[in-house]
Homo-oligomer: A and B are copies of this chain.
């Protein structure tokens, strides 16, 4: 466990432009899933992903639309990498902007659960 704390007057360098920034946005929640250096106990150099791409995009849209019915949010961005993903690099990045943090967190966690259940993307191999 490492902990870094900074409290000060400097502007916070934001990670990257949020999907939607308007004056109503109060919360940006982001998730990045990274390739870890081991799979089933063996040391690996990375993961290889494949997708049924048009269906994956449609399923992601369906999941987000469904989750947003319960918890209105202002914007969602989903990026998933395919092919070789070296250890330490991101396989998925999801950003949610909302008025308040509760709906952003709920959507982010709920989305990841359903992605891992219904979106036709596969880790097919390691290298």
Q: What residues make up the interface of A, taking CB atoms closer than 8 Å to B? A: 1-16, 18-38, 51, 53, 56-57, 60-61, 64-65, 68, 72-83, 87-93, 99, 101, 104-105, 108-109, 112, 121
Contacts and interface: CB of A to CB of B under 8 A. Distances in A.
A53 B22 CA distance: 30
A23 B3 contact: no
Contact of A1 (B24, B32, B74, B89): B74
A26 B116 CA distance: 15
Copies assembled: 2
Contacts of A90: 11-12, 14
B26 A33 contact: yes
20 contacts: A3-B64, A3-B65, A3-B78, A4-B75, A9-B81, A11-B89, A12-B81, A12-B91, A14-B93, A15-B16, A15-B93, A23-B36, A25-B36, A26-B33, A26-B35, A27-B32, A27-B34, A28-B31, A29-B30, A31-B101
Contact of A61 (B3, B11, B14, B78): B3
